[in-house]
């Protein structure tokens, strides 16, 4: 939910406000604060910052950003690795209904399908690479920390394993312990960015992850 009206929300997408007005009603499934309107706005901001340096088709990228989470699959659901493929299928249906041509639909669908870490689909277009980078930026840094613990709370995970919080002598289990998600996934992301702009932004946010972990270890 937002205090802004639909038109004011759409205006947050700048030159793509008209497209946002069409797609926002389809874009955000209810109930997940880690993949909500605020997430969309952050990913769009990051994607536009990357596109300003790297280029790319703004309309394709904006549509892909708006629809990349249009199908909700819980993090601990067996279908989670299929979430981005399901979203790509749904995005294609939405854009076809709006009269988009097949080539543009395919470009958006590929970017949506490839954005997910768990899907394991290599991004083949510039727009897909930018969306993947922009979405992964939202998983690291300070906002990534907040989202990690938010999701852990929703799923009923503990903050950390009390005897061996850094998993020095046990296997990682990020389904049980939020802190395990850092070495299991978050600390790996900065090395896997596609664009020069994305890698630079990721390096800055990665440093914030490491600073947080150092501070947390000291307090534990």
Predicted pLDDT of residue 190: 95
Q: Which CATH class is domain 1-133?
A: mainly alpha
* Cα→Cα distances 175→1, 37, 157, 162, 196, Å: 28, 25, 6, 15, 32
Q: What is the pLDDT of residue 32?
A: 72
Q: What is the pLDDT of residue 79?
A: 64
Q: What percent of the chain has pLDDT over 70?
A: 92
Q: Which CATH number fits domain 139-220: 3.40.50.1000, 1.10.3210.50, 3.90.550.10, 3.90.380.10?
A: 1.10.3210.50
State which residues of the chain have pLDDT below 70.
Answer: 1-5, 30-31, 33-34, 74-81
Residue 35: per-residue pLDDT = 77
Distance CA 76, CA 92 (A): 26
Instruction: Give residue limits of the domains in the chain.
Output: 1-133, 139-220
What is the structure's pLDDT at 15?
Answer: 93
pLDDT at 74: 66
| Residue 116 neighbours by CB distance under 10 Å | 23
Give, to the nearest 10 degrees, the angle between helix 196-219 and helix 37-54.
Answer: 130
């Amino acid at each position: 939910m937002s205090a802004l009206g639909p038109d004011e929300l759409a205006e947050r997408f700048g030159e793509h406000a008209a497209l946002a007005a069409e797609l926002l009603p389809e874009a955000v499934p209810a109930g997940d604060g880690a993949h909500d309107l605020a997430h969309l706005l952050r990913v769009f901001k990051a994607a536009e910052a990357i596109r300003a340096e790297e280029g790319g088709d703004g309309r394709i990228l904006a549509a892909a950003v708006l629809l990349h989470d249009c199908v909700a699959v819980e993090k601990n659901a067996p279908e989670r690795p299929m979430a981005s493929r399901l979203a790509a299928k749904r995005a294609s249906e939405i854009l076809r209904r709006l009269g988009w041509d097949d080539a543009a639909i395919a470009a958006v669908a590929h970017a949506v399908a490839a954005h997910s870490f768990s899907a394991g689909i290599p991004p083949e277009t510039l727009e897909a690479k930018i969306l993947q980078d922009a979405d992964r930026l939202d998983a690291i840094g300070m906002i990534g920390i907040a989202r990690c613990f938010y999701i852990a709370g929703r799923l009923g995970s503990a903050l950390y394993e009390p005897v061996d919080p850094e998993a020095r002598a046990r296997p990682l289990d990020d389904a049980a312990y939020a802190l395990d998600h850092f070495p299991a996934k978050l600390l790996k992301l900065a090395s896997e960015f596609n664009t020069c702009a994305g890698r630079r932004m990721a390096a800055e946010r990665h440093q914030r992850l490491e600073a947080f972990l150092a501070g947390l270890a000291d307090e534990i």
